[in-house]
Amino acid sequence: MAISTRFLVAVVGAALVVTLLATLLLREEGAAGGSAKKVWHAKEFTLAMVKPDAVRGGHTGAIIDRTETEGFEIVALKKTRLTLAQAKVFYAEHKDRPFFTALTEFMSSGPVVVMLLSKDDAVASWRALIGATNPTRAAEQTMRRLYGLDGTQNAVHGSDAVASAIVEGSFFFPELLSSLV
Ligand code: IDP
Ligand code: MG
């Protein structure tokens, strides 16, 4: 009898934990008036960076302000300076591109401000907010259009996928790796 009581308590306890998790992780999804369904949901992360040109230009404060206004939570933030070797690791995917030397020299030319950001759909929404890679082709009011100088010195970085955000997030904030995956 004692065992079955303990079993019952364990089952009820487990059910409560599952219900609590579901409340935190499930949200309604579906058009207004349409058939809404519950889907599993966890906030997404992205790695954002104020590049050396924008730090030098005094735009860090405006970029952070806009970041919060647009609903991103700043999970972690630091100002640091990449060595040339670190810039080469960070941009390793571009190592065979003609602009690799200019890019890595630029990225190690002065301090950067890196931010780990969280929001629903963080990767895509940050990319939309910063705009196209080349500031002259970026939409009005995007960060790159506002603050970018040219195709290399384009003011801001943003991860291009959730998988990249995890790699880049752990590059700058290795202590937070467990909260990213
Ligand atoms: P992204 O930053 O928009 O993701 P990527 O293609 O990943 O763009 O390129 C990384 C960075 O390399 C760019 O942000 C920019 O600083 C630089 N870059 C990209 N394409 C060119 C180019 O054609 N000429 C010079 N620099 C470039
Ligand atoms: Mg990229």
> Helix, strand, or coil here: 119?
strand
> Which residue do the tokens 């291009």 mark?
160
- Other Cβ atoms closer than 10 A to 151: 14
> Which residue do the tokens 């004692």 mark?
2
pLDDT value at 83 more than 80: yes
103 close to ligand 1 (CB < 6 Angstrom): yes
pLDDT value at 181 more than 80: no
The verdict on whether 59 is a catalytic residue reads: no
pLDDT tens string 141-178: 999 999 999 999 999 999 999 999 999 999 999 998 77
CA dihedral 69, 75, 80, 82 (to 10 degrees): -100
Residues 131 and 122: their CA atoms lie apart, in Å, by 14
Residues 42 and 44: their CA atoms lie apart, in Å, by 6
Determine the distance separating the centroid of ligand 2 and the alpha carbon of 161, expressed in angstroms: 9
pLDDT of residue 43: 85
Of the candidates 47, 60, 46, 45, the residue with the CA atom closest to the CA atom of residue 155 = 60
Round the CA-based radius of gyration of the chain to a whole number and report it. 21
Q: Which ligand is nearest to the CA of 87?
A: 1
pLDDT of residue 28: 45
Q: Enter the pTM of the model.
A: 0.81
pLDDT tens string 84-93: 999 999 999 9
Q: Indicate which atom in ligand 1 lies nearest the CA of residue 107.
A: 16
> Which residue do the tokens 């603050």 mark?
147
pLDDT of residue 6: 56
Strand 112-119's sheet: what is its strand order?
A: 73-80, 112-119, 44-50, 156-158
pLDDT of residue 179: 77
pLDDT tens string 16-36: 333 333 444 444 444 444 455
Q: Which ligand is nearest to the CA of 54?
A: 1
Q: Indicate which atom in ligand 1 lies nearest the CA of residue 91.
A: 10
pLDDT tens string 1-19: 455 655 554 544 444 333 3
